[in-house]
A and B are shown apart, each in its own frame.
Chain A
Amino acid sequence: GENVEQHPSTLSVQEGDSAVIKCTYSDSASNYFPWYKQELGKRPQLIIDIRSNVGEKKDQRIAVTLNKTAKHFSLHITETQPEDSAVYFCAARPPYTGGFKTIFGAGTRLFVKA
């Protein structure tokens, strides 16, 4: 089955710097890749997603890139702000799984220092 690995587990950046979180997946058939942000004590919230027919997607300060050949995808946050501090989860979805199960990475705890 699909396996998603996420790095780093912890990331600390200075306010205004960029942050990059990288994920790899094992199943080349996976075709949907969402990213979630979870603030302390809150629910995970979708921040951006990308489908396998697209190589890059941007939404203001957030961008995601997908390399299907290498089976990895990355989240880029530019001009980081203290409110970006949270845990970020990448995920992949193989098309054939029952119930459209989503396979999550272990998460990256991002600290943005003011």
Chain B
Amino acid sequence: SQTIHQWPATLVQPVGSPLSLECTVEGTSNPNLYWYRQAAGRGLQLLFYSVGIGQISSEVPQNLSASRPQDRQFILSSKKLLLSDSGFYLCAWSSGQKGDQPQHFGDGTRLSIL
């Protein structure tokens, strides 16, 4: 069966510091991968998605970036964090071949910027 791992679970970072969040998927190949951000009590904002290695599409202009160095690895980064980057970051995957299959979410990273 497929599993998705996301780490760290929580992170407290000062303003201006760098960020690296990692997500890996097991049990499937060539998945579509997604990064979402969720502000407290709010909905799901799609940040990036990827359909293959090295292929990144950005949905929202910001100081974040994403990379996919391997088929089942998705990384969210920032060179300098802002206070507004605080939130709950969720990685998700879906089948790369079938459009009528759900997205499956990781457990998320709660990021607090001080």
B-binding residues in A (CB < 8 A): 31-32, 34, 36, 41-46, 49, 51, 89, 93, 95, 98-102, 104-107
* Residues of B close to A34: CB separation below 8 A: 102-103
**What are 9 A-B interface contacts by the 8 Å CB criterion?**
A36-B105, A42-B108, A43-B108, A44-B44, A44-B105, A46-B103, A100-B101, A101-B34, A104-B43
Contacting pair B100 A42 (CB below 8 A): no
- Decide: B94 and A100 in contact? CB cutoff 8 A: yes
Provide the residues of chain A in CB contact with B24, threshold 8 Å: none
* Docked complex Cα distance between A51 and B99 (Å): 11
Measured between beta carbons, the chain B residues less than 8 angstroms from A31 are 99-100
**Chain A neighbourhood of B104, CB < 8 A:** 46
Closest CB-CB distance, B54 to chain A, in whole Å?
14
- What 0/1 readout, one digit per residue, does chain B (102-114) give for beta carbons within 8 Å of chain A? 1111111010000
Count of B residues near A, CB < 8 Å?
25
Contact pattern, B 18-43, Cβ under 8 Å of A = 1, otherwise 0: 00000000000000101000000011
Query: How far is B44's CA from A105's CA once the two chains are assembled, in angstroms?
Result: 8
3 nearest A-B residue pairs (beta carbon): A43-B105, A99-B49, A32-B100
Q: What distance in Å separates the Cβ of B93 from its nearest Cβ neighbour in chain A?
A: 11
- B57 in contact (CB, < 8 A): yes
B43 contacts A98, C-beta separation under 8 Å: no
Q: Could you tell me if A43 and B90 are in contact, using CB atoms closer than 8 angstroms?
A: yes
The listed residue with most B CB atoms (<10 A of its CB), out of A32, A95, A100, A102, is A100
In the complex, the answer to whether B102 meets A49 with C-beta atoms within 8 Å is: yes
User: Are B90 and A44 interface neighbours, CB within 8 A?
Assistant: yes
Complex CA gap A95/B98 in Å reads: 10
